[in-house]
Structure 1
Amino acid sequence: MQNFAELHLKPETLARYGLPDIPYPIPAADLKSALLDNGDLPLAAMLLGLQQRSRDGEAEWQQLEPAMDRLAELLAPDDARDVISAAGDHWWLEVGPVDLGGQLVTIQRGDALIAAITARDDGRLRVAVFHPLDAKSAEYLIGLGQVPHPEHGVCMRENNWEYALDCSAGNGNYYAADRGEAYLSYWEKGLGISWDGPMCPSGVSSWTSSPGPPPA
């Protein structure tokens, strides 16, 4: 198991990077490297540590979101395009606006919408993200977005969308939701709409709104 250390930043460092004053869990090896590398913060390792900490169902994950948001801003290049792609060696996703009134697979925690996923014309996936991704949510997206095999598709499903539908129907989602972890849901008629009508009288905004900063 990887050893983590907690990084506590000085007020001037917090101000320099615009980070909230919380402990940042990072792998011990990255902390040693940071101390030797002219004091530059290991931003990617700090974000990874918060993603791992926030995946647990009992974690106060919403209080970690401002720090995760800021670290993502520091790490990601500015890009004004509405639609971009995110990819690794074995996965690919299109990132852009999603129609929340259409057919969706969602990643949720409680009633909070973490990400909404829909199908492209080619069966690959487009995702819109509404909250910083904890480690489990990120793993969902990477797994669902895996590059299809030329003969066997995606885990023996025709394409990524069919695989996402299959995963959203698994019983494990019920147990994950009960533990307070991220889980998958399927909405055939749009977010918050069941066969009997709307499940969320206050509207979509209550699902997608980000929480405010943690109390001082």
Structure 2
Amino acid sequence: MGLRSGERNALPNKGSVRGYQVIDAAKSKVEKLCPAVVTCADILTVAARDASEMVGGPSWSVKLGRRDSITAGLVLAETSLPSFKAPLDSPISTFKDNGFNARDMVALSGAHTIGQAQCFLFRDRIYSNGSDIDAGFASTRRRRCPINNGNGNLAPLDLVTPNSFDYNYFKNLIQKKGLLESDQVLYNGGSTDSIVSEYSNNPSKFKSDFAAAMVKMSEIRPLTGEAGVIRRICGAIS
């Protein structure tokens, strides 16, 4: 949402999540053809599926018929999205509360095969000299993330193939090259190590599990029937 109280301004999203103009353009074209019929929620669902396929990821069937919310969700996004510094049990619990198991969580985390993160989100990790980060990787990331400035500088979540949907994200974790703490915690001697290892050796399994988890996520408490509205503009309640 374009409102100051919208999800795009939540700390985990602000300055990192992009592409809103693509959704707005799609909505504008759809409105000209079928006014007040197709919701922004459905457009987002289809766009996520198509974006995955465009960069080499899986495709999946999506159910349509969602309605748009009449409220903004900044507070909900900041309290519900797992922290970039959270220990493993925290995201596992958060996902479980929404009907996901640990495998779903790891598969969905694989979306970090694409995208970038801001310096302030990983600065502590690359300057920690910790045992859970590859020294060479940390040194490379420091070039774009000085210790005292550059908060908004961006770095790819997957340094190897940042523009392709593949399984290098999981290979990176095994090599201690996860950019965010919340990435690396998936492979750091905990209960999800075996899932990361499996996906690093079986890209087909990762892609099929990712697709299934995306379908599952698209069905979390959808507004249907007379609930909600059909927005005319996705960035505003209308």
| Range into which the TM-score falls when normalised by the shorter chain | under 0.3
TM-score calculated relative to the size of structure 1: 0.28
Bigger RCO of structures 1 and 2 (CA < 8 A, at least 6 apart)? 2
Structure with the higher strand share, 1 or 2 = 1
TM-score calculated relative to the size of structure 2: 0.26
Structure with the higher helix share, 1 or 2 = 2
